[in-house]
Structure 1
Amino acid sequence: MTFWLPPGRAQRNLALIVFVHATGRGAYVTAGVLYFTQSVGLPVGQVGVGLSAAGLLALAAGPPVGHLADRCGARGVFTAALLCGSAAIAALALARGFWTFLAAACATAFTHTAGLAARGPLVADHGRDRPHEFRGYLRSVSNIGIALGTVPAGWAVQTGTRSAYLALILGTAASSACAAALTALLPATRPIPSDEGSRWVALKDGPYAVLTVLDGVLAVQFKVLTITLPLWIVTRTDAPNWLISATMLVNTAMVGTLQTRVTRNAGTPPAAGRAIRRAGFTFLVSCAVIVLSAGMPGWAAAATILAAVVVHTVGELWHAAGGFELSYALAPPHAIGQYQGLFGMGLGAADFFGPAMVTALCIQWGRPGWFVLGGIFAGTGLLVPPAVAVAERRTGRTSRSLPRVTSSRP
Structure 2
Amino acid sequence: MLSALLPPPGPPRTLTIATLVNTLGIGLWMALNVIYATTVIGLSPGELGIGLGVASGLRLVLSTPMGHLADRLGPRAVQVWSFGLLVPLTLLLLVVHGFVQYVVVVSLHAVAWGTNRAAQGAMIAGVIPADDRVRVRAYLRAATNVSISVGAAIAGTLLAIGTVEAYRWGVVANVLTYAVAGVITARLPKVAPQPARRGPRLVALRDKPFLAFVVLDGLLSMHYLLLDVVLPLWIVQHTQAPRWMVAALLLANTVSVVLLQVRATKGTEDLRGAANAARWGGVFVAVACVVFSVTGEVSAIAASVLLVLGALAHVLGEVRQAAGSWGIAFGLAPDHAQGQYQGAYSMGIDLGRMLAPLVLTWLALQYGAVGWFVMAAAFGAVGLAMPAVVAWAGDRRPEVAPAVP
- TM-score normalised to structure 2 length: 0.93
Structure 1 residues 244, 97: CA separation in 2 closer, same or farther (over 3 Å shift)? farther
Counterpart in 2 of 1:369? 371
Report the residue type matching 1:60 in the other structure. V
Counterpart in 2 of 1:259? 261
Counterpart in 1 of 2:51? 50
Asked if 1:356 is matched to 2:348, the reply is: no
Deviations 1:351-406 (Å, cap 9, x if unpaired)? Answer: 22221111211123332211112211111112111101111111289xxxx9xxxx
SS, match of residue 201 in structure 2: coil
Report the residue type matching 1:48 in the other structure. G
Counterpart in 2 of 1:216? 218
CA drift of 1:296 comes to 3.2
Counterpart in 1 of 2:164? 162
Asked whether the 8 Å contact 2:207–2:398 carries over to 1, the reply is no
Deviations 1:266-321 (Å, cap 9, x if unpaired)? Answer: 12111111111111121111111112221433333233222211111111101100
Counterpart in 1 of 2:74? 73
Separation in 2, partners of 1:149, 1:345: 25
Separation in 2, partners of 1:244, 1:160: 24
CA drift of 1:239 comes to 2.4
Separation in 2, partners of 1:268, 1:312: 24
Counterpart in 2 of 1:406? none
Counterpart in 2 of 1:14? 15
Report matched runs for 1:73-112 at 5 Å.
73-112=74-113
SS, match of residue 395 in structure 1: coil
CA drift of 1:234 comes to 1.9
Separation in 1, partners of 2:259, 2:142: 7
Structure 1 residues 39, 367: CA separation in 2 closer, same or farther (over 3 Å shift)? farther
SS, match of residue 238 in structure 1: coil
Asked whether the 8 Å contact 1:280–1:378 carries over to 2, the reply is yes
Asked whether the 8 Å contact 1:127–1:133 carries over to 2, the reply is no
Deviations 1:11-51 (Å, cap 9, x if unpaired)? Answer: 21111111100111011112312322344343323222222
SS, match of residue 262 in structure 2: helix
- Identity fraction in percent: 34
Counterpart in 2 of 1:238? 240
Asked whether the 8 Å contact 1:223–1:354 carries over to 2, the reply is yes
CA drift of 1:124 comes to 0.9
Asked whether the 8 Å contact 1:28–1:168 carries over to 2, the reply is yes
SS, match of residue 383 in structure 2: helix
CA drift of 1:264 comes to 2.4
Counterpart in 2 of 1:408? none
Report the residue type matching 1:296 in the other structure. V
Structure 1 residues 240, 159: CA separation in 2 closer, same or farther (over 3 Å shift)? farther
Structure 1 residues 152, 365: CA separation in 2 closer, same or farther (over 3 Å shift)? same
Structure 1 residues 308, 71: CA separation in 2 closer, same or farther (over 3 Å shift)? same
Asked whether the 8 Å contact 2:63–2:346 carries over to 1, the reply is yes
Structure 1 residues 112, 282: CA separation in 2 closer, same or farther (over 3 Å shift)? same
CA drift of 1:4 comes to 4.8
Asked whether the 8 Å contact 1:56–1:352 carries over to 2, the reply is no
Report the residue type matching 2:104 in the other structure. A
Counterpart in 2 of 1:407? none
Report the residue type matching 1:29 in the other structure. M
Counterpart in 2 of 1:273? 275
Structure 1 residues 8, 288: CA separation in 2 closer, same or farther (over 3 Å shift)? same
Structure 1 residues 34, 289: CA separation in 2 closer, same or farther (over 3 Å shift)? farther
Structure 1 residues 296, 164: CA separation in 2 closer, same or farther (over 3 Å shift)? farther
Asked whether the 8 Å contact 1:212–1:346 carries over to 2, the reply is yes
Asked whether the 8 Å contact 1:198–1:335 carries over to 2, the reply is no
Separation in 2, partners of 1:346, 1:66: 14
Report the residue type matching 1:6 in the other structure. P
Separation in 1, partners of 2:159, 2:361: 24
Residue segments in structure 2 that go unaligned for 5+ positions in a row: 401-405
Separation in 2, partners of 1:82, 1:182: 11
Asked if 1:34 is matched to 2:35, the reply is: yes
Counterpart in 2 of 1:282? 284
CA drift of 1:140 comes to 1.1
SS, match of residue 194 in structure 2: coil
Counterpart in 1 of 2:25? 24
Structure 1 residues 96, 363: CA separation in 2 closer, same or farther (over 3 Å shift)? farther
CA RMSD between the two structures: 1.9
CA drift of 1:3 comes to 4.6
Structure 1 residues 109, 396: CA separation in 2 closer, same or farther (over 3 Å shift)? closer
Counterpart in 2 of 1:145? 147
- TM-score normalised to structure 1 length: 0.92
Report the residue type matching 1:104 in the other structure. V
Report matched runs for 1:315-394 at 5 Å.
315-394=317-396
Separation in 2, partners of 1:96, 1:4: 40
